Structure 1
């Protein structure tokens, strides 16, 4: 795999700065462990689970009452990463890794966190609307709330499906691999079975629907050249580089200004990349990468593979 692809396809590694999937997983697991041990402490100190629900969960999950949410706006930040049951964090983590890695491999690392956050917020908004506007659910609003990665993961699932529905995965399990849209259908079916078989409140469906809606809108806009995540990425960059040299900030700002190399719109590529003799247009390289994203490596011609090989050798020589 050549250098350009390595920059676009971060490995799952705790030390990889640009692997947003890993960082989201670590954050979700850390919050789960923290809540778990706080609950144990409450039980050991004889405060009891009701006190834990009141003091901790009441200030972690998004309440179903809009007026109560206005008093606790920080729950919009804590709730997308909070889980209390092992199987919730386990299943959410598996699907987060699955769809987050697919999106990161196709479009780079800069879409994962914004889509997860926007999907979660839209899910909370739809949950609040359902709990307070649907007559059958209004009686359940008092004292209820919601948290978890469900809407954020749903946004990633729908987003990557809209972006590259025919991208194939698991080629070793199924000849030719499974299209992304098939994996997403399996995920949707499992969610529906879980909700209807467990007797969970149907308000959770509003939560998931909000994430799905944002996943579609976000990625449809991105394919037209508008990246809604630039603002969040710029904010995170400036926060993380408060004490860094100015040159580092400017470099990050320039990086965040562009959209993914896989789906550019209205940008002018650098004229050429010199590769030890004949020059290779960067636009040509990007077109080949787009073809790989859409149909896989097997779709490349011998000439296109040779172009990537020559670009890889030149990139290796630069570093």
Structure 2
């Protein structure tokens, strides 16, 4: 089983890798917790008035901005950290199901930026609320979980293809926009004074980012483009560049080769035609649902998302 997980993490898509990271951190936290309990070790701390395993404390973000600045890694690690089995189960099931739809429609490369930036947006709204709203004054509270990131993925997908049909047990097919709207409504109603108000505020922060992200995509703007540049820069530091090969030009072959301008024009035309077909398929999904696409249209959309 470990070998299979190792293979999937190495060769699987971004969605699978994020699921494995979340599951791995959850297992590590709980194994250490079990050891602490059975061994009688006092490995727990009262961070922000909440009893936490020390590992969770150092992975979770906090409403205390200064504490977060002392532990800058928590801006990222908090969104991969779960302590409760139901918390991670619900988050990962929704993330896998909706994330697969998002990836098929908009490509694998957009999954990680949306996950990270959605989580950061959720944390930002959480920090603003806890430090500015009177109801939270004087309190300090930790935050963990991928919920803000998952909400970003859900709202982005629902905004991009609002009528995408989701089949629910005992209910039947229902457009994705209604499911996303239900989750947002639950988070809004929780602001009346639920036990996890901070978590619901973070969910709304992720939802807002997902909505804005998808709206910008429909206008041809990708607000995560600088994230791609950063990832490529980091990857370039660790990936060895191939050696440059010297190629001798064949002058005779050059005479029979298609002029560069003609090749460029042909490529541009093909790209425009391809994008027009993608837009037509997405319009069809919005009007009649993904299931009404022909097999050829589904294959075309899937192959286009991989490029």
Taking structure 1 as the reference length, the TM-score comes to 0.71
Deviation at 1:107, TM superposition (A): 0.8
Deviation at 1:235, TM superposition (A): 3.1
Q: How does 1:98-177 map to 2 (within 5 A)?
A: 98-141=97-140, 144-170=141-167, 177=173
Give 1:68 deviation, angstroms.
Answer: 1.1
Equivalent residue, structure 1, for 2:217:
222
- How much has 1:191 moved relative to structure 2? 5.2
The answer for the alignment partner of 1:183 in structure 2 is 179
CA distance in 1, matches of 2:10, 2:279: 24
**Which of 26, 36, 47 matches 2:30?**
36
Q: Distance in 1 between matches of 2:171 and 2:282?
A: 18
Q: Which residue number corresponds to residue 201 of structure 2?
A: 206
SS at match of 2:108: coil
Is the 8 Å Cα contact of residues 166 and 295 (structure 1) preserved in structure 2? Answer: no
Query: Does residue 1:95 correspond to 2:94, yes or no?
Result: yes
Q: CA deviation at 1:192?
A: 6.2
1:116 to 1:270, Cα distance in 2 relative to 1, 3 A: same
Alignment of 1:11-30 (within 5 A): 14=8, 17=11, 19-30=13-24
Following the alignment from structure 2 to structure 1, what is the Cα–Cα distance between the partners of residues 28 and 60?
14
Which structure 1 segments of 5+ residues have no match?
1-12, 249-267, 273-280
| Contact 2:165 2:175 (C-alpha < 8 Å) held by counterparts | yes
Change (3 A) 1:189 1:90: farther
* Separation of aligned partners in 2, 1:165 and 1:269: 34
The residue that corresponds to 1:245 in the other structure is: 241
The CA deviation string for residues 25-79 of structure 1, in whole angstroms up to 9 with x for no partner, is 1111111111111212222332235248263222110011111111111111210
**TM-score scaled to structure 2, two decimals?**
0.73
| Number of aligned positions between the proteins | 267
C-alpha offsets along residues 97-128 of structure 1, whole Å, 9 cap, x if unaligned?
Answer: 12211211111111111011111111111111
User: Runs of 5+ in structure 2 lacking a partner?
Assistant: 1-6, 46-50, 245-264
Structure 1 contact 35–84 (Cα < 8 Å) conserved: yes
Computing the radius of gyration from Cα coordinates, the structure with the larger value is 2
Distance 2:295 2:201 in 1: 49
The partner residue of 1:290 within 279, 285, 290 is: 279
Counterpart CA distance in 2 for 1:18 and 1:270 is: 31
State the distance in 1 between where 2:64 and 2:287 align. 53
State the 1:305 CA deviation.
7.0
Give CA deviations for 1:246-293 in whole Å, capped at 9, x if unaligned. 489xxxxxxxxxxxxxxxxxxx88256xxxxxxxx5543433333222
